[in-house]
Amino acid sequence: MTHQDAPTASNRPEGAALLSEQRRDAMGGEPPFVPEPTGDSRLVASIKDAVITAAIVAGITLFFLAVRSDIDAGGLVLTLRPGLWMTWVAIALVVRFFLSYFFYRSAAPISGWLKTVVMPTKRGVPIGKTVGIILLAMALTLPWLLSTFLPGQNRYLLDLAILILTYVMLGWGLNIVVGLAGLLDLGYVAFYAVGAYSFALLATNFGLGFWVCLPMAGLFAALWGIMLGFPVLRLRGDYLAIVTLAFGEIIRIVLLNWYDFTGGPNGILGIPKPTLFGIEFSRGEGGFADYFGLEYSTVHRFVFLYYIILALALLTNFVTLRLRKLPVGRAWEALREDEIACRSLGINTVNVKLTAFATGAMFGGFAGAFFATRQGFISPESFTFIESAIILAIVVLGGLGSQLGVVIASVVMIGGIELLRNLTVLQQVFGDNFDPTQYRMLIFGLAMVAIMVWKPRGLISSRTPTVIYKERKKIGADAVSQGEGH
Amino acid sequence: MEYFLQQLINGIALGSIYGLIAIGYTMVYGIIGMINFAHGEVFMIGSFVSLSVFLALGALGITFLPLVLIVMLIVAMACTSLWGWTVERVAYRPLRGSFRLAPLITAIGMSIFLQNFVQVTQGARIKPLPPQIEGGLTLMEGPGGITVQLSYMQIIIIATTIVLMAGFSYLINKTSLGRQQRACEQDRKMAALLGVNVDRTISLTFVLGASLAAVAGIMYLLYYGVIDFYIGFIAGVKAFTAAVLGGIGSLPGAMLGGLAIGLIETFWSGYFSVEYKDVAAFSILAIVLIFLPSGLLGRPEVEKV
């Protein structure tokens, strides 16, 4: 039996072979072949899976969960914790059994089920835009919302919002480098540090204010981006990753050891606070509250800082969105998809990469300057690799290249875990010393792996392409892997 | 002169440890073309496992040192291999054929996870272990009381490394596993067509790399006597530098690169400044990648469309 309109090798999508086979069978009158295992074998196989998984978990965690070495008066001693170990092995056993029995070995595989749940296949509804506008409206009115509905925790929550927005801004800055240009930068924190230190040094040595230093901090960071980027951007993606990591560490070590210039591990103290057109947020004569005839409150400064970082973050977002429509932005995305094709088309890949690197670095520098002015104190402690990893995790979890994803990932991962800290329920369950922030990086690491394995383009994985040819199509996470030059 | 010789010996001992870790990087890179960022963490896990084994044996009353060392070696290698296998199975295998950055990102995720897993389960404080193997040979006694010492620990490190390297070269060059491994390195698809179980070979590559890292972990623990959950990060980057310097994908290159990095680091701290020794190693990485991307013994990379 032959088909006139059989798909050819070039236009056949994945899974088409199976479909056409099923169609052929159906035309021949055969019932479609569904390999449904019998109940018994499914149960036995699932139990076997579960036992194997539990054995592996038992093996790998034996020396970490069951025993713990602690420093005692006479040296190191071992503490036995068999209960904890067995609990986790049992959890692995049960979870794997359920997964195997109900998903992996059942007739309806898990992947299909997940797709219907997670990725509603509605076409053409720009849900991102609506959510974005709602989030923007919330962000703009947040200080008012907080003071109206949660006046008791106003200051704490505002501070948390500032922290989240700092990460949003850093995420957006890194998104230009990683998400758009496809350059894995593991040393992004270096530019954050350059921004923070240039502001701190300019402000403390020359008495310049925040608003003068802010653009300079961004420029310095961009300059560093170009200086570091120029020699290394010719390298392949994974080499680039490790060289940027090395640069991040080098900058931190230099900051730590150059006492005369940076103050070494003591850092820099007394960084001035930002002013509103010269009006300081201080108590008394000439302060913000006095000038506007308001009652003095420490919250004013937080509100002001909140709006500064909101404006900076929105600037980052706006610039990114505009750049994506310019030739350079399109070159970034083309570069991410296929570098060789780009070079063949006459794009100067080094320059294109450099612009992405420098732009990302500049926003990192802005964020660094803001960080310095918010804290009033900086030291190399704040610029470790962990910080780079957090920012990268946010970008990855949000979906490489997705602006909204970065926001959601920052809110969930930074804000969510910070809020968990205040839940007394958790302390009652896990004991008084339970601190969820301790597990933050653990969760970050696991989530990065899970997201990459399960949805490689992040939670917000279907992006509308920047350039539209003839018709609008959504790029699903599954299609992306095929488009990648590998 | 004595000072120089002493630094040379120290550098070779340190370089042996880096070389053993670097082999894991270079083999994985050779076979699947990715940087296994979690490899440094695997080394750290080997260190922690061997510490726990040591303490457990001490608690049981077994203190006969050679026996303790052998048990430590076997248990740490087995446990670390299992970790290596699991990491590959969970984080890298599902991503084969995915886009280029994906396995790199899971590798970083894994590395963060493992670091924090150890931190949460074993505590963030450093673990000091009093030196177990003391004494050494005095090779030379110079004027002013400067002596050149080759400690027994250094002898053990260098001897173990030589033995392991010999065994490992035999494994790669002569056995069927080694042939399969090299076949997969050259062309995975073709190897699969010729009946090589590619997935199994890749898993075994991770297992081999992890067990060598475990040996490095034990030696690090015994040599320095201080470990914490963060040692894998710096050691990992330096071992990667070693792999790149030697030519990534080349096994003798990894060992050579390890020795070179160990020597550079010791001489730098001996003659210039201890604070900037990491900067020296990291700068070497950047310089090599920029000016000599294929390393000392590596083949130049051919770009395919």
**Between residues B94 and A435, which one has the greater pLDDT?**
B94
What confidence tens digit (pLDDT) does each residue in A454-474 have?
776 655 544 545 555 555 555
What SS3 class is residue A72? strand
Q: Are B109 and A448 an interchain contact pair (Cβ–Cβ within 8 Å)?
A: yes
Under a CB-based contact definition with an 8 Å cutoff, are residues A32 and A22 in contact? Answer: yes
Q: For residue A75, which residues of chain B lie inside 8 Å, CB to CB?
A: 128-130
- B227: part of which helix (H) or strand (E)? strand B226-227
Closest-CA distance of chain B to residue A441, Å = 6
> What is the structure's pLDDT at A192?
92
Where do we find the tokens 């886009």?
B99
| Cα A290 to chain centroid, rounded | 41
pLDDT bracket for residue A30 (50, 70, 90)? low
And the tokens for A262?
């940076």
Cα dihedral B272, B275, B277, B282 in deg (nearest 10)? -130
Region of residue B164 (phi > 0: left; psi between -120 and 50: alpha; otherwise: beta): alpha
Q: Are A243 and B244 an interchain contact pair (Cβ–Cβ within 8 Å)?
A: no
> What is the structure's pLDDT at A381?
86
**ipTM higher than 0.95?**
no
pLDDT bracket for residue A16 (50, 70, 90)? low
Handedness of CA A200, A206, A209, A215 (dihedral sign): negative
Domain with CATH 1.10.3470 in chain A: 127-483
Q: For residue B56, which residues of chain A lie inside 8 Å, CB to CB?
A: 67, 78
CB proximity under 8 Å: B 205-244 to A: 233, 237, 240-241, 244
Residues 6+ apart with CB under 8 A from B278: A249, A250, A253, B234, B238
> What is the structure's pLDDT at A121?
44
What confidence tens digit (pLDDT) does each residue in A33-81 have?
555 555 667 788 888 888 998 999 888 888 888 888 888 777 778 888 8
Q: Are A232 and B59 an interchain contact pair (Cβ–Cβ within 8 Å)?
A: no
Under a CB-based contact definition with an 8 Å cutoff, are residues B43 and B216 in contact? Answer: yes
Give the distance between the most distant pair of CA atoms in chain B. 68
* CA distance readout (Å), B8 to A467, B148, B221, B223, B224: 59, 10, 21, 16, 17
Q: Which of A376-380, B39-43, B301-305 has the lowest mean pLDDT?
A: B301-305
pTM of the model: 0.83
CA nearest to A242 within chain B: B237
Comparing CA positions, the residue from A244, A262, A257, A251 lying closest to residue A199 is A262
Highest mean pLDDT, choosing among A75-79, A430-434, B184-188, B298-302? B184-188
Residue A276: strand pairing partners: A279
Q: What is the CA radius of gyration of chain A?
A: 27
In this prediction, what percent of chain A has a pLDDT beyond 90?
11
What SS3 class is residue B299? coil
> What is the structure's pLDDT at B193?
92
Question: What gap in Å lies between CA A127 and CA A132, rounded to an integer?
Answer: 8
* CA distance readout (Å), A260 to A147, A217, B261: 44, 20, 30
Q: Are B116 and A441 an interchain contact pair (Cβ–Cβ within 8 Å)?
A: yes
**Between residues A150 and A68, which one has the greater pLDDT?**
A68
Where do we find the tokens 């990379």?
B301
And the tokens for B53?
């084994």
3-class SS string, A213-252: HHHHHHHHHHHHHHHHHHHHCCCCHHHHHHHHHHHHHHHH
Under a CB-based contact definition with an 8 Å cutoff, are residues A103 and A45 in contact? Answer: no
Mean pLDDT of all residues belonging to chain A: 78
Q: What is the CA radius of gyration of chain B?
A: 19
Would you say residue B32 has pLDDT above 70?
Answer: yes
What SS3 class is residue A381? helix
> What is the structure's pLDDT at A193?
93
Residue B115 forms contact with A (CB below 8 Å)? yes
Burial of A72 (0-12, 13-18, 19+ CB in 10 A): exposed
**Between residues B54 and B248, which one has the greater pLDDT?**
B54
Q: Are B95 and A400 an interchain contact pair (Cβ–Cβ within 8 Å)?
A: no
And the tokens for B281?
């190693």
> What is the structure's pLDDT at B212?
92
Residue B82 forms contact with A (CB below 8 Å)? yes
Would you say residue A2 has pLDDT above 50?
Answer: no
Question: Residue length, chain A?
Answer: 486
pLDDT bracket for residue A242 (50, 70, 90)? confident
> What is the structure's pLDDT at A196?
92
Comparing CA positions, the residue from A126, A136, A252 lying closest to residue A190 is A252
Question: What gap in Å lies between CA A205 and CA A11, rounded to an integer?
Answer: 65
And the tokens for A70?
């602690």
Would you say residue A364 has pLDDT above 90?
Answer: yes
- Secondary structure letter of residue A77 according to DSSP: E
Would you say residue B45 has pLDDT above 90?
Answer: yes
Would you say residue B292 has pLDDT above 90?
Answer: no
CB proximity under 8 Å: A 183-242 to B: 184, 186, 231-232, 234-239, 241-242
Would you say residue A13 has pLDDT above 70?
Answer: no
Q: Are A445 and B55 an interchain contact pair (Cβ–Cβ within 8 Å)?
A: no
Give the type of residue at A273: K
Question: What gap in Å lies between CA B182 and CA B139, rounded to an integer?
Answer: 42
Question: What gap in Å lies between CA A182 and CA A341, rounded to an integer?
Answer: 14
Q: Are B105 and A237 an interchain contact pair (Cβ–Cβ within 8 Å)?
A: no
Q: For residue A438, which residues of chain B lie inside 8 Å, CB to CB?
A: 120
**Between residues A442 and A298, which one has the greater pLDDT?**
A442
Give the type of residue at A147: S
CA nearest to A395 within chain B: B105
> What is the structure's pLDDT at A457?
62
Q: Which of A78, A243, A447 sits opposite B52 (nearest CB)?
A: A78
Comparing CA positions, the residue from A384, A390, A335 lying closest to residue A357 is A335
> What is the structure's pLDDT at B50?
92
Would you say residue A99 has pLDDT above 80?
Answer: yes
Would you say residue A114 has pLDDT above 60?
Answer: no
CB pairs under 8 A between A and B: 186
What confidence tens digit (pLDDT) does each residue in A397-416 have?
887 778 888 888 888 888 87
Q: Are A182 and B102 an interchain contact pair (Cβ–Cβ within 8 Å)?
A: no
Residue B245 forms contact with A (CB below 8 Å)? no
Residues 6+ apart with CB under 8 A from B34: A238, B28, B92, B103, B104, B107
Q: Which of B103, B120, B240 sits opposite A442 (nearest CB)?
A: B120
> What is the structure's pLDDT at B244?
87
Where do we find the tokens 């159906």?
A26
> What is the structure's pLDDT at B215?
93
**Between residues B220 and A115, which one has the greater pLDDT?**
B220
Under a CB-based contact definition with an 8 Å cutoff, are residues A391 and A171 in contact? Answer: yes
Would you say residue A254 has pLDDT above 50?
Answer: yes
> What is the structure's pLDDT at A481?
43
* CA distance readout (Å), B289 to A246, B31, B155: 12, 20, 33
Q: Are B275 and A241 an interchain contact pair (Cβ–Cβ within 8 Å)?
A: no
Closest-CA distance of chain B to residue A224, Å = 15
Residue B2 forms contact with A (CB below 8 Å)? no
Comparing CA positions, the residue from B292, B213, B186, B194 lying closest to residue B246 is B292
Give the type of residue at A99: L
What SS3 class is residue B201? helix
Domains of chain B, CATH where assigned: 2-291 (1.10.3470)
Q: Which of A139-148, A208-217, A360-369, B211-220 has the lowest mean pLDDT?
A: A139-148
Where do we find the tokens 């917000």?
A460
The CATH class of the A127-483 domain is mainly alpha
What confidence tens digit (pLDDT) does each residue in B131-182 have?
888 777 777 777 777 778 888 889 989 999 999 989 988 988 889 988 998 8
In this prediction, what percent of chain A has a pLDDT beyond 70?
73
Residue A22: HSE in the Cβ half-sphere, 13 Å Cα cutoff: 9
Under a CB-based contact definition with an 8 Å cutoff, are residues B234 and B12 in contact? Answer: no
Would you say residue B31 has pLDDT above 60?
Answer: yes
* E runs forming strands in A30-157: 67-72, 75-80
- Secondary structure letter of residue B39 according to DSSP: H
Would you say residue A224 has pLDDT above 80?
Answer: yes
Comparing CA positions, the residue from A71, A89, A62 lying closest to residue B53 is A62
Residue A481 forms contact with B (CB below 8 Å)? yes
